[in-house]
Each structure stands twice: as structure tokens, then as C-alpha cells.
Amino acid sequence: MQGSPELEPLRTRIYIDGYNFYYGCLRGTPHKWLDLLPLFEKHILPSALVKDGDGHIRQSTLLPSPSIKFFTAKIIESVARAPDSVSSQARYHTALRKMHDGRIELIEGYYAVNKMKVKIVDAEDPDRAPRECQEIQAWKVEEKQSDVNLALQAYHDAITGQIDHAVIVTNDTDIAPALEMIRAHTNVLIGVVVPTTDQTRPPNTDLVKLAHWKREYVNASELAACQLPRVIQGRKPTTKPESWYGQPELLQEILELAIPVRGSRAAAFKWMEQPNQYLDGERPIELAETVDGANRVLEYIRNWIAQQAQLPAADE
């Protein structure tokens, strides 16, 4: 007696709302230098229980080109939070393109910055109706087109038969109409991944009810395990911004001590990336991600420098 035929893996593509993902998973963390492909290929997708309309559990395989469509917008320098925000984001986008050569497609919207009149909350009477509150002029910064681009791209890929399985990474209800249309007009299965590390935050019900499966959060340990290499080689190497490390100020202190000893910044980083027997076999670059770890590295370097200073000179 023959068994039922083996079902083909679902042709899968990931659609990531970059703005949502950054603010939900990455802002204020040392995980910004994130390698998106292994995060989804090795962690998110294997954890999903995907069932088709007949109740069969289905396996997923990421399409090769592209596997991921990443929707983002270039930061505008005049509203950037840090002096290196623009250059750091540009480095990251370059790193993603170089690392996976066509498997991650970046689709850009833009930021709009406009002056507008807004009502301010009355400090003495916070419940006062907006129409009765003072009006001021303020800057409004909006990301444009990213959610529209995501919705159109996902619907286009579904309706043209490119995919069997769409994984939508957002918690924005603006995407819900596109998911409704995908379900109404195709047999494409939909997964929703809520871009947050907060395990207590409930997912958006408007999105979840349209999904065949959901992932309610991303573990910080998964983000930590899926970091890009510090340097991505090419005609012009792309390097992780130093401000994106966990403790950038302490990292600078470490480098200021290590560079004169090792001879160059590159050599100092090479030393930091090697296991150190005097630090219990741990790598200084990893220890430097926490305050306690960075201080351990600083203490070790200072002690080493002090010991070297007490050694007799070579010609004595």
C-alpha cells in the first residue's frame, strides 16, 4: 500500500517593515548589525507550524532571489538622532547587499519632514478637549511609501503565482487590506511575525486573524546569534559602525589603550576577536558588549601596560 505523495515545500518569501522592525527589535540594543537571512532561515521559519487548507503540515523553502524584501527609507540628516545615523544606516544597507548577493532586496520609501500645526496637551488639565487647547507649530517626520510598497509587493507576488507562502513582518494594521485580498484571491498561506522582543505585548488582532500562523515576538538571543561579520570584504570593505556596539564609549576606551600596543585599529580589533586565556577564554569583543565585561577588558589591558612599564629596558 502506497503512502500519500510527499508535498512540495512552500515557496516562501519574507516581507519586512524595516521601520517597525527597528523600533520593535533593534533600537537601543547591540543587535543592529543584524543578518536578516539566518534569523528567518534558521530561527523564525523552523519554529513555525504551517498548515495548508487541508490541514497538512507544510515545510517552507525560501526563494533564492530574493528571499527577503526589506522595506526601508534613508534617514534624513536634519532629523537624525546621532551624527553618524545616516552613514551607519548606509553601511548596514551596503552590508546586507554585499553579504547575500541578491537574496535580500531593499525597497526604499522616503522620509517627509514638514511643519504643521498641532494641539498641545494642557499641563493643568490633561483631559481638556483638543479644540480648547493651545495650538503650536511643530515638525512632523513621516516615513512614506514603505507600508504601501510592502502591501503591493506581497499582493503582486501572490497574485502572479511567485509564492506559496508570504511571511509578513510588521504589527501595522495598514497592511491588513492587502492580506485580506491575498486570502480572497489566492491560496497563498500567510504568516505574521510581530517585530518585538517584548513577550508581553499582544499582537495586532486585525493582522493575526488574517494569518495562517503567527510568531508573537523575536527572542533577543536569536538577534544576538544572527549578527553580520564585523568586516564584510569587497573592493571597499564595509565595517560595523562602532556606535552600534553595546557599550560604544567603553569600546573607545579599550581601543585607545589597545591601538598603541597592537600598532593599528585593525590589529586591535583582530586581537579583540580572539579568545583570550587571561579572560577565561572569552573574546574581548564579546565581553565589551556589557558594562561589566568591558570593564574586565579595560582592567586587563591596564594591568598589562603597567606590568610592561616595570620591565627593564632592553639596553639595560
In a domain, 240, yes or no: no
Q: What is the pLDDT of residue 141?
A: 75
CA dist., res. 38 & res. 192, Å (int): 18
Q: What is the pLDDT of residue 5?
A: 65
Give yes or no: residues 88 and 183 share one domain: yes
In a domain, 276, yes or no: yes
Q: What is the pLDDT of residue 314?
A: 58
User: How far is CA 227 from each of CA 11, 39, 221, 222, rounded to the nearest angstrom?
Assistant: 25, 9, 11, 9
On the 0-12 / 13-18 / 19+ scale of CB atoms within 10 A, 137 is exposed
Average pLDDT over residues 293-316: 87
159 pLDDT tier (thresholds 50, 70, 90)? very high
The answer to whether 115 and 139 are in contact (CB under 8 A) is: yes
Give yes or no: residues 196 and 116 share one domain: no
Name the domain boundary from 98, 124, 142. Answer: 142
Give yes or no: residues 205 and 274 share one domain: no
pLDDT digits (tens, 9 = 90+) for 26-68: 999 999 999 999 999 999 999 999 999 889 999 999 999 999 9
pLDDT digits (tens, 9 = 90+) for 71-113: 999 988 888 778 889 999 999 999 999 999 899 999 998 777 7
Give yes or no: residues 137 and 160 share one domain: no
In a domain, 236, yes or no: no
pLDDT digits (tens, 9 = 90+) for 175-207: 999 999 999 999 999 999 999 999 888 888 999
The answer to whether 49 and 176 are in contact (CB under 8 A) is: no
Beta-sheet pairing, 165-169 with 135-144? unpaired
Q: What is the pLDDT of residue 31?
A: 96
Give yes or no: residues 150 and 293 share one domain: no
Three cell numbers at 309? 612599564
Q: What is the pLDDT of residue 6?
A: 78
CA dist., res. 238 & res. 31, Å (int): 17
Q: What percent of the chain has pLDDT over 90?
A: 76
In a domain, 4, yes or no: no
pLDDT at 266 over 50: yes
pLDDT at 138 over 90: no
Ramachandran region of residue 143, left (φ > 0), alpha (ψ -120 to 50) or beta?
Answer: beta
Give yes or no: residues 157 and 25 share one domain: yes
Q: What is the pLDDT of residue 1?
A: 42
Q: What is the pLDDT of residue 2?
A: 55
Backbone angles phi, psi at 10, to 5 degrees: -75, 130
To 5 degrees, how large is the angle CA 11–CA 12–CA 15? Answer: 150
Q: Which domain holds residue 265?
A: 245-309
Residue 192 is given by DSSP the state E
Give yes or no: residues 93 and 177 share one domain: yes
CA dist., res. 178 & res. 153, Å (int): 10
Give yes or no: residues 152 and 290 share one domain: no
Q: How many domains does the chain have?
A: 3
The answer to whether 288 and 279 are in contact (CB under 8 A) is: no
pLDDT digits (tens, 9 = 90+) for 211-253: 999 999 999 999 999 999 999 998 899 999 999 999 999 999 9
